[in-house]
């Protein structure tokens, strides 16, 4: 079998013969004719470099997929005594809503625990299970208009679930929030009770050299589970939705166990590089928050954070230097609501309820 390299050499040899013959017939000076083999050699090296880059890209994407995680969270609010918010229900046990359609909740109510579910993306950056993501994923109540009244009333957030799904593991692993940036939308979390074998993504050693116009890759879970479900056959998708719901924690568990929970990869270009933000046109949407922005060598230059709903050409990331700062102990340490509350989760599961609130692909607009 003739290899690609042999084909290229045969092509180059033929090209040299044709060019030399044409040059001789045209009376081209001998020094120009002598340069032709060198030009062909340069072309050959360029072709080899392109092929090497293509092979390298396959490796880059494989490593990145292994390090990128799907994050699922479920949280509620509790009072000073630790009592969670519950749904107000009528005589039939059905949740009651106000005239605007918002469910009524109260710590004294007798309905199921009122929760909010959300999902996002993160990526492995440390040998002990450290993961970078957005602050609005690690603390979904941060700068959230719906949570603001509850926080102002003295209620405290509490996670029932905060878990990351890796390619190498069939079930989600609990994670805890370690540090957050005071101003930027970036946070550092870590796996609990298990350390992944996947290779952490390399952070760019000199992100300040990032340039406008350079190509980038963006990896994550935009739309949450919807994009993953869309890749299933119609009958398979219908069966899964009937058994677990269109978007639930059980759906994520099932997809992960079947090795179907795979991140989406898009590409584009950097169009603005500022000290506090990167602007690019690689497509994303809610659910992709917290994913890595990579250069073509696979090094992280930023963390995907926000998008414009009306204009897909302007998406925003946090420069990776802010993530390095958290890894070095900078930012704020998180002491409260930094991990799962097993007590509340047990009570929630004992209610044997279906999720009243479906998955919110947590996103943040600039």
What phi and psi, each to the nearest 5 degrees, are found at residue 20?
-65, -45
DSSP letters, 64-91, are HHHHEEEEEEEEEEE-TT-PBPEE-B-T
139/175 Cα distance (integer angstroms): 13
Residue pair 115/285 in contact by the 8 Å Cβ criterion = no
**Between 328 and 40, residue with greater pLDDT:** 328
The residue with tokens 């946070």 is: 187
pTM of the model: 0.82
Query: Torsions phi, psi of 163, nearest 5?
Result: -135, 150
137 has pLDDT over 60? yes
pLDDT > 50? residue 356: no
**Residue from 170, 164, 196, 172 nearest 259 by CA:** 170
Which candidate, 262, 249, 231, places its Cα nearest to that of 168? 262
For domain 67-361, the CATH class is mainly beta
Which of these ranges, 13-27, 234-248, 343-357, has the smallest mean pLDDT? 13-27
* pLDDT tens digits, one per residue of 224-275: 998 898 889 999 989 998 888 778 899 999 999 999 999 999 999 999 999 9
Instruction: Using only the alpha carbons of the chain, give its radius of gyration.
Output: 26
Other beta carbons within 10 Å of 152: 8
Residues in the chain: 366
So what's the pLDDT on residue 308? 81
With a cut of 90, say whether residue 22 has pLDDT above it.
no
Residue (of 119, 151, 124, 112) closest to 138 by Cα position: 119
Q: pLDDT (tens digit, 9 = 90+) per residue, 288-340?
A: 999 999 999 999 999 999 988 777 678 999 999 999 999 999 999 998 889 99
How many CB atoms are located within 10 Å of the residue 91 CB?
5
Q: Ramachandran region of residue 329, left (φ > 0), alpha (ψ -120 to 50) or beta?
A: left
Q: In the prediction, which pLDDT does 12 show?
A: 52
d(CA 215, CA 196): 29
Predicted confidence (pLDDT) per residue in 200-227, tens digit: 999 999 877 888 999 999 999 998 998 8
pLDDT of residue 334: 95
Q: Decide the pairing of beta strands 215-220 and 292-294.
A: antiparallel
CB 293, CB 303: distance < 8 Å: yes
46 pLDDT exceeds 70?
Answer: no
């Amino acid at each position: 079998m003739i290899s690609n390299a042999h084909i290229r050499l045969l092509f180059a040899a033929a090209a040299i013969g044709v060019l030399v013959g044409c040059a001789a017939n045209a009376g081209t000076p001998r020094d120009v004719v002598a340069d032709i083999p060198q030009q062909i050699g340069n072309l050959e090296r360029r072709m080899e470099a392109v092929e090497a880059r293509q092979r390298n890209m396959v490796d880059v994407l494989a490593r990145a997929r292994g390090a990128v995680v799907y994050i699922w969270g479920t949280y509620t609010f509790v009072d000073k005594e630790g009592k969670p918010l519950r749904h107000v229900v009528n005589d039939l046990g059905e949740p009651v809503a106000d005239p605007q359609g918002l469910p009524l909740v109260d710590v004294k109510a007798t309905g199921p625990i009122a929760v909010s579910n959300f999902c996002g993306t993160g990526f492995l950056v440390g040998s002990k299970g450290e993961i970078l993501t957005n602050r609005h994923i690690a603390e979904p109540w941060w700068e959230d208009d719906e949570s603001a009244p509850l926080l102002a009333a003295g209620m405290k957030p509490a996670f029932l679930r905060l878990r990351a799904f890796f390619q190498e593991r069939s079930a989600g692993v609990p994670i805890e929030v370690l540090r957050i940036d005071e101003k930027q939308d970036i946070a550092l979390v870590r796996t609990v009770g298990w350390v992944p074998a996947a290779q952490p993504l390399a952070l760019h050693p000199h992100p300040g050299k990032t340039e406008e116009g350079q190509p980038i890759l963006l990896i994550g879970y935009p739309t949450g589970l919807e994009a993953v479900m869309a890749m299933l056959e119609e009958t398979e998708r219908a069966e899964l939705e009937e058994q677990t719901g269109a978007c639930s924690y059980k759906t994520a568990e099932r997809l992960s166990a079947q090795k179907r929970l795979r991140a989406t990869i898009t590409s584009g270009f950097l169009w603005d590089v500022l000290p506090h933000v990167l602007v690019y046109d690689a497509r994303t949407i809610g659910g992709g928050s917290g994913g890595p922005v990579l250069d073509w060598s696979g090094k992280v230059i930023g963390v995907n954070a926000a998008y414009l709903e009306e204009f897909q050409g302007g998406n925003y990331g946090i420069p990776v230097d802010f993530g390095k700062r958290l890894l070095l102990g900078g930012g704020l340490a998180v002491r409260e609501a930094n991990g799962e509350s097993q007590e509340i989760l047990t009570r929630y599961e004992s209610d044997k309820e279906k999720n009243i609130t479906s998955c919110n692909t947590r996103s943040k607009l600039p």
